[in-house]
Amino acid sequence: MNIIQNIFKFNNKNPLRLKLEKLLGFKPSSIDLYEKALTHGSTNEKDKDGNPFNYERLEYVGDAILGGVIAKYLFNAVPQANEGYLTKMRSKIVSREHLNKIGFELKLIELMKSNLELSRFGENTHGNLLEAIVGAVFLDQGFKTCEAFIHKRIINPHVNISKLEGKITSYKSLIIEWCQKKKLKLNFECTEDQTAEKLKHFTARLKINNKIIAKARSTSRKKAEEKAAQRAYFALQNKIKS
């Protein structure tokens, strides 16, 4: 009998189960779905039919449902907006950075079953679990309840259209676009750090016309490059905005 089964199936007064019910706002009908939504692949869990399970399949469902609910919300909230605006705003709301922040604030990783130490997980795990929970709610309770959950936990507390309008979602794309416009040569140099840390780290250097403009370090090449681009943007913002 695994830990998740103990938490969800056999102890209704367990604080972790109560925490999940508080998060959802209702008592789940199909506990198995939430078990899967909170299970990491490192456990090598299998269902009664021998199929491996973890949160990734429910993450796929949650991503699709979340995109649809956000699209409907924006369509109603900004009736004068065109397709391009709506698409850009939806991308900002469901961006990995935004979902990671929400998932982190909801402390979903504390409910996750894994054979790895929590320190081994990157920021994306928080957003992945959030999408998996959305997928579980949809399959367990249907669209209306899932839509209400998304409004309660994502839209109402975390979506401010006026603030999002001015939010830059990708400094890397912005820097690349500016360099192309100015006909400047841009390239990133990214190397894996050789350290004793359990979690891998990478250092990115952003060069423009062979001159290092910014450096950054993070837990993936993509994150390190984005962070370096952000620093380059702030160093060059007067030129970029002119």
Question: Which residues are catalytically annotated?
Answer: 63, 131
**Cα distance between residue 154 and residue 176, in whole Å:** 31
Residues near 21 by beta carbon (within 8 Å), at least 6 away in sequence: 27, 28
Q: What is the DSSP letter of 241?
A: H
**Cα distance between residue 70 and residue 68, in whole Å:** 5
3-class state of residue 195 by DSSP: coil
**Cα distance between residue 115 and residue 204, in whole Å:** 30
CA-based nearest residue to 36, from 59, 66, 65: 59
Residues near 29 by beta carbon (within 8 Å), at least 6 away in sequence: 140, 141
**Cα distance between residue 159 and residue 94, in whole Å:** 10
Residues near 9 by beta carbon (within 8 Å), at least 6 away in sequence: 31
